[in-house]
Amino acid sequence: MAFSFLTQELAIDLGTANTVIFMNDKIVVDEPSIVAIDQNTGKPIAFGHAARMMHERTHPNIKTIRPLKDGVIADFNAAEQMIRGFVKMINKKKSLFTPNLKMVICIPSGSTEVEIRAVRDSSEHAGGRDVYIIYEPMAAALGIGLDVEAPTGHMIVDIGGGTTEIAVISLGGIVCKESIRVAGDVFTGEIQQYMRQQHNIRIGEITAELIKINVGSAMAELDETPEPYIVRGPNLMTAHPVEVAVTSQEIAHCLDKSLAKIETAVLSVLEQTPPELYADIVQKGIFLTGGGALLRGLDKRLHDKINIPFHVADDPLRAVARGTSLAIKGTDRLPFLMR
């Protein structure tokens, strides 16, 4: 193609919590999915990490928006501004011409037609010439190196920020799936609520996220217990500053109900799985991807409950983005890419 150098291929994992963009097999953007808008002009003033630093710290003239909720676009305008901002980050050095953008974007497998349309429209408005769409579990399977086109069954559990995607994949297609809106954001909200109820302390989203990263756990009994995490904040009754040491056992107790919902969804997909594929899954195990897969002891908890081995993928956070970047090379032949 004569003008192929004018075409830029971007693989975008547009996540509720983070957006990762691959170009030429390299990560060029890995930023939180958040944008800060000037309320007076309506123009964006920061994206990604810079906007996250402002989150929950703004005055009335600045508003921070997370354009995606539960894995789908909740604020169309902010999503478009954010995608445009991230694309500009990549192209800040190239000012002579505007490249044609070919994008592959992944979305939750439970997305409705309207939600798919919103993603496509936002991408096109942000400069996408050719926009392809891939479902998250399929991208995750590609990203961890599974042969998705083989006539064998693979099962993926992708726990992201907004949704948990569970799917059985065979012959390049999704055989049965479930997408539930219990994932990282719900865990963060439950930690905030737990700190209010049990310790009488008010904490923000960012602090709750740090608790999850430092002492987040799926089981009370761990082989290696992390050190308690110190949290500082105002007492709800007196507004005096208080300091609390949070343990992984507390967080395991606090997240128990949400994790039970994920277990139920996994069992529900296994019930729908044809017996031959079920046999393949029992033999190979089930693969965990997404940020939620980093929760301590989650693979063991699921194994104890479901009796099938669970494997946490290498670098689970970027598995979906890596799979999307592999898919962009096969846009002309892969049956599971949607235009």
Tokens of 227: 């050190």
Report all structural domains of the chain as residue ranges with CATH numbers, in order of start: 4-139+320-330 (3.30.420.40), 149-182+254-314 (3.30.420.40), 185-253 (3.90.640.10)
Confidence of residue 5 (pLDDT cuts 50, 70, 90): low
Residue 77's φ and ψ, nearest 5 degrees, are -65, -45
In a 10 Å sphere around its CB, with 0-12 CB exposed, 13-18 middle and 19+ buried, how is residue 27 labelled? middle
In the structure, what pLDDT confidence band is assigned to residue 208 with cuts at 50, 70 and 90? very high
In the block, tokens 């899954």 appear at 281
Q: Round to whole Å and give the CA distance between 246 and 228.
A: 5
| Predicted pLDDT at 2 | 41
Q: Residues 134-161: pLDDT tens digits?
A: 999 999 999 999 999 899 999 999 999 9
Q: Is the pLDDT of residue 277 over 70?
A: yes
Segment 31-49, tens digit of pLDDT: 999 999 999 998 999 999 9
Look at residue 97 in the predicted model and tell me its pLDDT: 56
Q: Please, which pLDDT band fits residue 4 given cuts at 50, 70 and 90?
A: low
pLDDT of residue 1: 39
**Residue 332 reports pLDDT greater than 80:** no
Using an 8 Å Cβ cutoff, are 274 and 232 in contact?
Answer: no
pTM for the whole thing? Answer: 0.89
Distance, CA of 141 to CA of 298 (rounded, Å): 19
Q: Under 8 Å CB-to-CB from 80, ≥6 apart: which residues?
A: 122, 125, 126
Cα end-to-end distance, the chain, whole Å: 21
Predicted local distance difference test score (pLDDT) of residue 217: 94
SS3 170: strand
Give 156 or 331, the one with higher predicted confidence.
156
pLDDT tens-digit readout, 55-76: 888 889 999 999 998 888 888 8
Residue 98 pLDDT grade (very low, low, confident, very high; cuts 50, 70, 90): low
Among residues 129, 85, 133, which one has the least CA distance to residue 109? 133
Q: How far apart are CA 134 and CA 125, in angstroms?
A: 19
Q: Which two tokens stand for residue 219?
A: 């089981």
- The mean per-residue pLDDT over the stretch 2-6 comes to 54
